[in-house]
Amino acid sequence: MTLLSVSNLTKSFGGIVANDSVSFDLNEGDIYAVIGPNGAGKTTLFNLISGVLRPTSGSVQYAGRDITGLAQADIAALGVVRTYQLVQLFRQRTVEENVQIGFHLATRGGVGAALFRPGWVRRQERMVREKSRELLRLVGLESQAGLVADKLPYGQQRLLKIARAMAAGPKLLMLDEPAAGLDTQETSVLGDVIQRINDQGITIVLIEHDMNLVMRMATRITVLDFGKKIAEGTPVEVKVNPAVLAAYLGEAELE
Amino acid sequence: MTLRSTISAKPQVWATALAIAVAVALLAYVFGRGGYVVTVMGFAVIYGVFVTGLNLFMGYAGQASFGQNAFAALGGYGTAVLCADYGLEPIVALVLSATLSAVIALIVGYPTLRLRGHYLAMATFALGLITYELSIEQSGLTRGFMGFSGIPPLGLGRFQLLSERAQLAVFILIMLLGVWVARRLRGSRFGRALLAIGESEPAANALGIQVFRYKLVAFVIAAVYASVAGSMFAHFVGYISPEVFGLSMVTLSFTMLYVGGIGTLWGPIAGAVLVSFLPQLLRGFRDMQDIIYCLALIVILIFVPKGLASLWSLAVRRSDVPAER
Ligand SMILES: Nc1ncnc2c1ncn2[C@@H]1O[C@H](COP(=O)(O)OP(=O)(O)O)[C@@H](O)[C@H]1O
Ligand SMILES: [Mg+2]
């Protein structure tokens, strides 16, 4: 079943056309990769889907409804959650607290709820604690729960970001270059985590430069170059596509 | 749970027991000794309330307010006017003043809290100055720079807390209530959102936290604490003047926050007590007193840069519990 459908999505910044009539569909349960050289428009595409930016034209359908131009928070509330390349962890908070803060959108209650703690708030807090632990177990950080996030090695910080995003209860999880800056070992752990998340039935869209990871995990791939989609297909198809090879000439090598 | 967590819970228990023992010993000394020590402790507790509120805004939400004295002034003058001139019950005057402070915080915070960093600092600083000017200018209401005297002590109906000891006891209860509220807020969805904002606004925003709204609510809560502290002060001394709620209140409260441990639950209280008693402890130095006072603060900040509260977490560091007291 189609979960996300992007049609003729276009975004221009002044003279630059960052996304030029991009279209693709992704099915529930996919691990869908978006690849392309730097500046190809991948992050822009994520920004358009998640409501950070409004498209110049084109539309985004999610679970059968038009979400084009909806506010970021509303799209997130529908279950489209992303991690950002540049958004940081809460470094001075503990690993566990980072995940707990991630439950903000999935929970409710303000000052009154905090002071009087009625039954539903106590149950909600218990749920937050238990599910935080579960998510930490999912990404393999349960033994570091009490540690200040800053003290985690780089690779584990990345996993924590993913756990924090998972707390919002995504149906579609969007990861922007999750493996950037990780070594082979860390990347392999990351791959396992992404696979486990996908096994729980969560659909994944992934921007990634690490071709090993992409080729190993992706069910389908879209290739962007200068804002245009130049190829789409399975890893095997994309790997031998002449247009893709041309675009990557002098860039990263396709495995 | 596990064997390891049972063992590691020990230092935490010891540190807590030690902290309680120190507090009890201090209170026993204060109530036993009486006299000026009770007065100093009274001020410490009033400031304890003030900085516990400020800590929610500065320590948790990570914002800077240099104008919190404005709300203490509102509380103080509200209580003075309503009790002395209109004969209202102290508790009614306190609640009315705090409500007014909350409303004004809302009105002032709405435009200013969209500002960042030093703009916010300047806007709040101006708020303190304006209130100071108003309390001099509006002499019909405030008696001007001569100050407002004849404010009755705290009481309920015909029952008045005539001794300073009795007032102090009630003040301590009010302060504990304030800490309890802060603790409840801290351990909630609301508190987690404030902490998130304090560390990274973009990250908080990306997680769906309405940054501006939460800042505004924290500002209003801090204003209510400041207002209550102002009311307590008016009852305790029986006299207030514009100077009382002047700029020195800002510097003093900042010192307490940083010496005690900003962003912790009990640190601000510890800071309030230490900073209030320090001048008394140093009275033997006579002329040198001010210099030694400053030196002492600097030494504390060098050796315990995260404040007195970090001594507590130092003691329990190995136990893997988050450092939050
Ligand atoms: N907010 C923006 N304002 C102006 N130009 C932008 C903005 N975001 C991206 N761009 C431009 O759009 C192009 C695509 O950028 P981006 O989507 O970040 O590429 P990628 O993530 O594939 O490396 C680049 O030329 C970039 O400079
Ligand atoms: Mg990018």
B189 contact residues in A (CB cutoff 8 A)? 103-104, 107-110, 113-114, 124, 128
CA of B202 to the centre of ligand 1 (A): 19
pLDDT, position B307: 86
Q: Does residue B163 lie within any of the structural domains?
A: yes
User: Domain of B206?
Assistant: 15-319
- Whether the Cβ atoms of residue A107 and residue A136 lie closer than 8 Å to each other: no
pLDDT, position A252: 53
pLDDT, position A242: 87
Phi, psi (degrees; rounded to nearest 5) at A80? -100, 105
What would the two tokens of residue A125 be?
């807090």
According to DSSP, the residues that pair with A26 across neighbouring strands are A4
pLDDT, position B324: 46
pLDDT, position B316: 66
The residue to mutate among A35, A38, A44, having the most atoms of ligand 1 within 8 angstroms of its beta carbon, is A44
Q: Is A227 in the B-facing interface, judged by CB distances under 8 Å?
A: no
Q: Does residue B2 lie within any of the structural domains?
A: no
According to DSSP, the residues that pair with A172 across neighbouring strands are A80, A203
Q: Does residue B6 lie within any of the structural domains?
A: no
Average pLDDT, chain A: 92
Residue A253 CB-density burial (10 A; 0-12 exposed, 13-18 middle, 19+ buried): exposed
> CA B304 to CA B311: how far, in whole Å?
8
Band (A250; pLDDT cuts 50, 70, 90): low
Q: Does residue B204 lie within any of the structural domains?
A: yes
pLDDT, position A84: 78
Residue A41, ligand 1, Cβ within 6 A? yes
pLDDT, position B43: 96
pLDDT, position B116: 73
Instruction: List, as ranges, residues 144-163 from A with C-beta within 8 Å of B.
Output: 146-148
What is the CATH number for B287? 1.10.3470
Nearest CA in chain A to B186: A114
Q: Is B181 in the A-facing interface, judged by CB distances under 8 Å?
A: yes
The residue to mutate among A16, A48, A177, having the most atoms of ligand 1 within 8 angstroms of its beta carbon, is A16
Q: How many CA atoms lie within 13 A of B243 on its CB side?
A: 5
pLDDT single digits (tens) A171-197: 999 999 999 989 999 999 999 999 999
pLDDT, position A86: 67
pLDDT, position B222: 97
Q: Is A107 in the B-facing interface, judged by CB distances under 8 Å?
A: yes
Q: Whose CA is nearest to atom 12 of ligand 1?
A: A18
> CA A174 to CA A171: how far, in whole Å?
10
- Whether the Cβ atoms of residue A235 and residue A213 lie closer than 8 Å to each other: no
Ligand closest to CA A86: 2
Residue A19, ligand 1, Cβ within 6 A? no
**Residue indicated by tokens 């320090």:** B278
What would the two tokens of residue A86 be?
């540049």
| Number of domains present in the structure of chain B | 1
For chain A, what percent of residues have pLDDT higher than 90? Answer: 82
ipTM of the complex: 0.83
Residues 6+ apart with CB under 8 A from B177: none
Residue A120, ligand 1, Cβ within 6 A? no
Q: Does residue B227 lie within any of the structural domains?
A: yes
Q: Does residue B191 lie within any of the structural domains?
A: yes
Q: Could you give all domains of chain A from N- to C-terminal order, each with its CATH number?
A: 2-79+170-254 (3.40.50.300), 92-154 (no CATH)
Q: What is the pLDDT along chain B (325 residues), one digit of tens a residue?
A: 444 444 455 777 888 888 899 999 999 999 988 889 999 999 999 999 999 999 999 999 999 889 999 999 999 999 999 998 898 999 999 999 999 999 999 999 998 888 776 788 888 888 988 988 888 888 778 888 888 888 888 888 778 887 888 999 999 999 999 999 999 999 999 999 999 999 998 889 888 899 999 999 999 999 999 999 999 999 999 999 898 898 889 999 999 999 999 999 999 999 999 999 988 888 878 788 888 888 888 888 888 888 888 887 777 664 444 444 4
Q: Does residue B30 lie within any of the structural domains?
A: yes
Q: Is A97 in the B-facing interface, judged by CB distances under 8 Å?
A: yes
Question: CA torsion angle for A72, A73, A74, A79 (degrees, to 10)?
Answer: 100
- The partner residue sitting opposite A90, judged by closest CB among B189, B199, B323, is B199
> CA B77 to CA B240: how far, in whole Å?
8
CA of A159 to the centre of ligand 2 (A): 19
Kindly determine whether residue A91 and residue B184, on different chains, have CB atoms separated by under 8 Å.
no
pLDDT, position B322: 47
Total CB pairs under 8 A between chain A and B: 89
Kindly determine whether residue A108 and residue B189, on different chains, have CB atoms separated by under 8 Å.
yes
> CA B280 to CA B36: how far, in whole Å?
10
pLDDT, position B321: 45
Query: Of B247, B248, B243, B301, which Cα lies nearest the Cα of B274?
Result: B301
pTM of the shown model:
0.87
B320 contact residues in A (CB cutoff 8 A)? 146-147
Q: Does residue B1 lie within any of the structural domains?
A: no
Q: Whose CA is nearest to atom 3 of ligand 1?
A: A13
Ligand closest to CA A52: 1
Task: Please give the full DSSP string across B86-151, using - where no structure is assigned.
Answer: T---HHHHHHHHHHHHHHHHHHHHHHHTTS-HHHHHHHHHHHHHHHHHHHHH-HHHH-GGG-EE-P
| Residue B42 Cα distances to B47, B177, B230, B282, angstroms | 9, 16, 12, 19
Helix (H) or strand (E) holding B239: strand B239-240
A86 contact residues in B (CB cutoff 8 A)? 202
Nearest CA in chain A to B182: A115
- The DSSP symbol for A136 reads H
Q: Whose CA is nearest to atom 5 of ligand 1?
A: A13
